[in-house]
Structure 1
Amino acid sequence: MESITLVSAILGKMSNIGKWQRQFIIHLIPLIMSIRGRINFMQMSRYGTYSMTSYRNNFDKTFDFGAFNTEHIKIKGTAYHVIIFDPSHIRKSGKSTFGKGRFWSGCDNQSKLGLEIGGIAIGDIEHHTAFHYEAIQTPNAENLKLSGKNLIDHYADLIIKRKAALMKFSTYLAVDAYFSKKTYVDKILDNTDFNIISRLRDDAVMYYVFNGHPTGKRGRPQCYDGKVDVKNPAMNYFKIVHQDLEIRIFSAIIYVKSLQQKVKIALVQYLDENSPKIKSTKIYFSTDTNLSAWHIVKYYRIRFQIEFIYRDANQFTGLEHCQARCEEKLYFHFNSSLTTVSIAKSAHYLTIPKEQRESFSMADIKTIYHNQLLLERFFDVFAIDPDTHKNNPKVKELYYFGSIAA
């Protein structure tokens, strides 16, 4: 299996991992790809080679997923990256589950009971995808209060604590519009060397920066030259840096009231191909005023790739299926689920030449791995010599039975 080869290569570059844990990780990731239905300890014992107790005990052991995924990205990624951070709500019942509370669910557009993870991913610009890096569980309101932090402090601290490792990939951090707050932006800028790329609210208050000469009169010099109207940008401040049939990008350095600082703005008008009307306008920004508006838009767009990791992990690798309640097992489960999606993508999608790639299908990979596991079970039960039959084209055809790509 391609995934076993890749996982073995990654683990070979990591130190301080015992033989047993190395074998377990090599076994676990392909197993998660093979299981149909819910992915929990009971299902693992049914499909895998260990007992349910063994899976539970191994999920309780410390494993550095950040280091594992760093080596993964070094092998399969390019040199053109952006850091992505995005929280995700996890549905979870059980009164004794660690960290259970009310968290915002973007899918339901409301606060709901459950858990939340703060996911960090590395967006690969050239591959136009993202690799999972690490997911950290968000404390509930009670635990945040005990620690003397608020939610924004917690989100910022996740990046600050990992800044040395993340800086090896990029100096740009892409986050969604929720994080375009002065408290978050200032904390990241004051404690790291990252520049933030995000989106402002549609009703954000912005002012043109006055570039004229001092008048010499008494009083404070003029700082601003009027409020920005995003529907009618002043062309003596904005300039068009890109236009095609879909979008028009304006660029300028603007003072944003909510951030209380000057930032580089990429004002994007989404055009209607069939009429001269503008469908919508979005305001993206970067705290790096030297970054081009085109790159701001490009980096922000790659941020959405983390949503695809969450989607595939929810649908195919059991992100919300964990049977455990303790913090350590939950951490291991969330990260193994998300990491498996990235491994599957690297082993079976990024190996295809870029011009030949179609949409990535985790469903196909699950089908292939399930068929392969089932056939290997037939070989074992009926005592068939696998060396004679595994390379048979008919056997390989059965691996792909039921997959869309086949």
Structure 2
Amino acid sequence: MCENDFHVISRFRNDVILYYPTLEQKTGKRGHPKWFDGRIDFANLDLTRCKEYEVNKGKLYGLRVYAKALKRYVSLAVWYPMDGRTDKWQLYFSTDDSMDGREVLDYYRTRFQLEFCFRDGKQHAGITNCQSTDFRKLDFHFNASLAAVNLAKAACKRLGIAYSISSCKSFIHNAYMLERFICVFGINPDPQVIDKLFKELILFTARAA
């Protein structure tokens, strides 16, 4: 896969075996110089080989290392969380060793946005409710469900409210009910008064959601 310019960004276990690349230069003598300068001890990381990045919580270091399990060099991001965490460090890597540590961590974290889409699709957009076995119908249903989630995100952004599918549903429901009450009761509200109260009324339950 990597040979076809596809790369993997994932996370290592904390006890993974990684090595520092050697800094030894060729001497012109017989034999190849050593490949590695020793196994990495993350409890005592050699900071002279790392590049430090500014992060809000903890410390982040990036370096190029050799992964024994993958049999290749990778770009590694080592994150040491703030005090109070049970885990001492977290290791993120990319098989594209030209990436820096911050890019590796940022790309890894974006995958949660995909998981949030599927979570919202299951909870609010009925992505698992299709009972058809036809591939085309399932494809249409999945796309329609995820499109509804994206439209809800766009609506929240346009309305200036915090993104939440539940809040968005409450917002739309309240707006419909308020217009329905006005229509059924046949009243003609004062525009100046209703403009002040309309947004507060339709956001009433959305704020608590």
TM-score, reference length from structure 1: 0.44
Residue deviations 1:340-360 (CA, integer Å, cap 9, x gap): 1121112222663xxxx75x2
Work out which of the residue numbers 81, 92, 105 in structure 2 matches 1:270.
81
Q: Corresponding residue for 2:44?
A: 232
The answer to whether the 8 Å contact 1:268/1:281 transfers is: yes
Which residue does the alignment assign to 2:130? Answer: 322
Q: Is 2:81 the partner of 1:260?
A: no
1:377, 1:196 → 2: CA distance?
53
Q: Is residue 25–residue 33 contact of structure 2 (8 Å, CA) maintained in 1? A: no
Given that 1:271 and 1:278 are in contact with CA atoms closer than 8 Å, whether structure 2 keeps it comes out as no
Q: Name the structure where helix makes up a greater proportion of residues.
A: 2
3-state secondary structure, aligned to 2:49: coil
Secondary structure, counterpart of 1:404 in structure 2 = helix
Deviation at 1:242? 3.4
Q: Quote the residue 1:308 is aligned against.
A: 116
Counterpart for residue 368 of structure 1 = 171
Q: Using the TM superposition, give the Cα deviation of residue 195 of structure 1 relative to its aligned residue in structure 2, in angstroms.
A: 4.5
- Alpha-carbon distance in structure 2 between the residues aligned to 1:230 and 1:290: 22
- CA distance in 1 between counterparts of 2:200 and 2:61 reads 52
Matched with 1:339 is 147
Residues 206 and 213 of structure 1, relative CA distance in 2, 3 Å threshold: same
Q: Which has the higher contact order (CA 8 A, sep 6+)?
A: 1
Find the aligned partners of 2:95 and 2:7 in 1 and give their Cα distance: 6
* One-letter code aligned to 1:265: L
Q: How does 1:123-142 map to 2 (within 5 A)?
A: none
Give the AA of the match of 2:82: L
Rounded to whole Å, the distance in 2 between the matches of 1:329 and 1:261 is 43
Task: Looking at secondary structure, tell me which structure has more strand per residue.
Answer: 1
SS of residue paired to 2:120 = helix
2:19 paired residue number: 207
Spell out, residue by residue over 1:245-284, the C-alpha distance to the aligned partner (whole angstroms, 9 max, x if none).
x2111221101122222121111111216xxx87431111
8 Å CA contact retained: 2:26, 2:32? no
Letter in 1 for 2:4: N
Deviations 1:339-396 (A, max 9, x none): 21121112222663xxxx75x221111112233445666788x5969xx77x754666
SS in 2 for 1:212: coil
Q: Residue in 2 aligned with 1:191? A: 4
CA distance in structure 2 between the partners assigned to 1:261 and 1:295 by the alignment: 19
Does the 8 Å CA contact 1:266/1:285 hold for their aligned counterparts? yes
Q: 3-state SS of the aligned residue for 2:153?
A: helix
Could you list the per-position Cα deviations for residues 152-183 of structure 1 after superposition, in whole angstroms to 9, with x for gaps in the alignment?
A: xxxxxxxxxxxxxxxxxxxxxxxxxxxxxxxx
Aligned to 1:251: 62
Q: Is contact 1:266-1:293 (8 Å) kept? A: yes
Task: Please say if 1:348 is aligned against 2:156.
Answer: yes
1:275-326 deviations in Å (ceiling 9; x for gaps): xx87431111223333321232222222212222222222211122223232
Q: Decide whether aligned partners of structure 1 residues 243 and 384 sit closer, same or farther in structure 2, where only a CA change above 3 A counts.
A: closer
| Aligned-partner SS, 2:122 | helix
Pair 1:203–1:312, CA change in 2 (3 A): same
User: Please, what TM-score do these two structures have when normalized by structure 2?
Assistant: 0.78
CA separation of 1:403 and 1:243: change in aligned 2, threshold 3 A: closer
Root mean square deviation, CA, Å: 3.2
Larger radius of gyration: 2
Instruction: Indicate the percent of aligned positions where both proteins have the same amino acid.
Output: 35
